[in-house]
Amino acid sequence: MDIRPLLIILSVCGQMQAITVDTDYGGLPLQIDRFLGEPTVFTLRNRVDSSWSWMVNNQDCSVKCDCAIQWPTALFCDHKGLEQFPESLPSRTQYLFLQGNMITGFNSKALANTTNLRWLILDQNQLLSERLDGRSPFNLTQLVNLFMNHNNLTEVPAGLPGGLKQLRLAYNQIEKIGPGAFENLQNLTLLLLQGNRLKTIGETDFKGLSILNLLDLSQNVLDTFPKHLPPSVQQLYLSHNAITGMAEDSLQGFNRLCYLRLRNNQLKNDGLTPGVFNVTSLVELDLSFNQLTEIPFVPTTLQYLYLEVNHIREFNVSSLCRTVGLTSYSHIKILRLDGNKIKYHQLPPDWVYCLRILQNIYI
C-alpha cells in the first residue's frame, strides 16, 4: 500500500495553486497544508478518541509511543517527556513524531531499522550539536523532511541525508553554517534558519542547493545583505536583521525571485544602489520598518509594495513608472506608505495614471 499523499503544486509566481489528493492518511482527521504539502497537525492529542484509535495487539508499537490503526506507518511519540529516542522502533515507521520531548542527541541504534523513514520531527527538544558529532544516524535514504526547530544546536548537523526536501533548523543557536554544509542536498527546496545567530554567510555555505525555493534567514544578526545565496530562490526572507544596504549586484541572477522580505532592517537610501530592486520576477517587496527617505525604484511588474514606517517624505511617480502610457503602468495592487511623512493630498496629480490597477493604498 502506498500511502504517500499525492501532491501537485503548480507554482507560477503570484498564482499558487495546490491540489492535495490525500489518498491515505488512514482516515485520520489530518489536514494537509496545501502549499507545503505537510500536515497541519503533528500530534494525535485531543484529535481522536483513544478508545478506538490505538493499536493494541496486532501490530507492535514502541512502549512510549502511540500508534494509530488508521495510520500504521506513523509513530506518535510527541510530548512524552522522552530524554532519548524510543527503543526498538518498528521498521514500518515512515513518520516519526518526537516533538516536545527532552532529547539531547541521536541514538543511531534506535534508528537502525527505520530505513523507510520519511519524516523525522524533532521540534522543541534540546538537541545539542556536540551530541550529534560523528554519530549521525543518517543512513536514512528515504528521509525527505527533517524538522529540528527550537533546539539547542550551534551548528548545522553534519552528514544530512541527500534526499531531504525540507530542512528546518529555525530557532536554534547556530552562529555559522560552514563551507559545504548542505553540499549533498541537491533536492532541498525549503531551508529554515530564522531565529539563529548568523552574522555572515560564507562563500560556499549554500553550495549545492540548486533547487532551493524558500530560504528564511529572518531574525539573525546579519549586517550586510548576504552574498552567495542560491540563485534558485523564489522566496527570500531576511526580515529582522541589521542590514544597512545592498550592492548593485545583490540580486543579480535571481531570475525567479518572487517574494523578498526585508522588514525591520536598517536600510537607508544611500545604502541602496538605485537599480537594486529592478528584478522583473518580483511580486512582493517588503521594506517596511526601515529608514528609507525615498521610494526606491521598483519594476512595474511588482504587485505588492510595503513601505510603511520609514521616513519617506515625497512620492515620486518615477520610482514606480518610468513612463506612463497605454501599456506601461505599474502593476501594484497594494501600496503601503502609512507611518511615513507624506499625506494623501501631497500625491502628484499623475499618480492615478501610473497606479492604474491599485486596489489599496495606505497613507
User: Phi and psi at residue 232, in whole multiples of 5°?
Assistant: -80, -10
For the CB of residue 213, give the shortest distance to ligand NAG in the complex, in Å. 14
Contact in structure between 222 and 246 (CB atoms under 8 Å): no
Contact in structure between 106 and 137 (CB atoms under 8 Å): yes
Q: Which is nearer to ligand NAG, 47 or 341 (CB)?
A: 341
Q: Is 280 in the site for ligand NAG (CB under 6 A)?
A: yes
Of the residues 152, 200, 273, 291, which one makes contact with ligand NAG according to CB under 6 A:
152
Q: Is 361 in the site for ligand NAG (CB under 6 A)?
A: no
Q: How many Å apart are CA 201 and CA 247, to the nearest integer?
A: 15
Q: Is 154 in the site for ligand NAG (CB under 6 A)?
A: no
Name the strand (E) or helix (H) holding 152. Answer: none
Q: Is 59 in the site for ligand NAG (CB under 6 A)?
A: no
E strand residue ranges, 106-195: 119-121, 145-147, 166-168, 190-192
Q: How many residues form the binding site for ligand NAG (CB under 6 A)? A: 18
Q: Which is nearer to ligand NAG, 17 or 115 (CB)?
A: 115
Q: Which residues have CB under 8 Å from 249's CB, separation 6+?
A: none
Q: Is 300 in the site for ligand NAG (CB under 6 A)?
A: no
Q: Is 316 in the site for ligand NAG (CB under 6 A)?
A: yes
Q: Is 187 in the site for ligand NAG (CB under 6 A)?
A: yes
For the CB of residue 112, give the shortest distance to ligand NAG in the complex, in Å. 5
∠ CA 117-183-96, nearest 5°, is 15
Of the residues 107, 113, 281, 291, which one makes contact with ligand NAG according to CB under 6 A:
113
Q: Which is nearer to ligand NAG, 151 or 265 (CB)?
A: 151
Q: Is 5 in the site for ligand NAG (CB under 6 A)?
A: no
Q: Which is nearer to ligand NAG, 112 or 221 (CB)?
A: 112
Contact in structure between 28 and 71 (CB atoms under 8 Å): yes
**Nearest by Cα to 122 from 170, 164, 87:** 170
Q: How many Å apart are CA 260 and CA 254, to the nearest integer?
A: 11
Contact in structure between 154 and 145 (CB atoms under 8 Å): no
Which of the stretches 23-31, 49-57, 59-67, 274-282 binds ligand NAG when contact is defined by CB under 6 A?
274-282
Q: How many Å apart are CA 212 and CA 142, to the nearest integer?
A: 19
Of the residues 88, 252, 255, 346, which one makes contact with ligand NAG according to CB under 6 A:
88
User: Phi and psi at residue 96, in whole multiples of 5°?
Assistant: -120, 115
∠ CA 324-326-327, nearest 5°, is 85
CA 192 to chain centre: 5
Of the residues 27, 159, 253, 275, which one makes contact with ligand NAG according to CB under 6 A:
275
Of the residues 224, 278, 291, 293, which one makes contact with ligand NAG according to CB under 6 A:
278
Name the strand (E) or helix (H) holding 20. Answer: strand 15-21
Which of the stretches 28-36, 38-46, 109-117, 208-216 binds ligand NAG when contact is defined by CB under 6 A?
109-117
Of the residues 126, 136, 273, 293, which one makes contact with ligand NAG according to CB under 6 A:
126
**Chain positions contacting ligand NAG, by CB under 6 A:** 88, 104, 109, 112-113, 115, 126, 128, 139, 152, 162-163, 187, 275, 278, 280, 316, 318
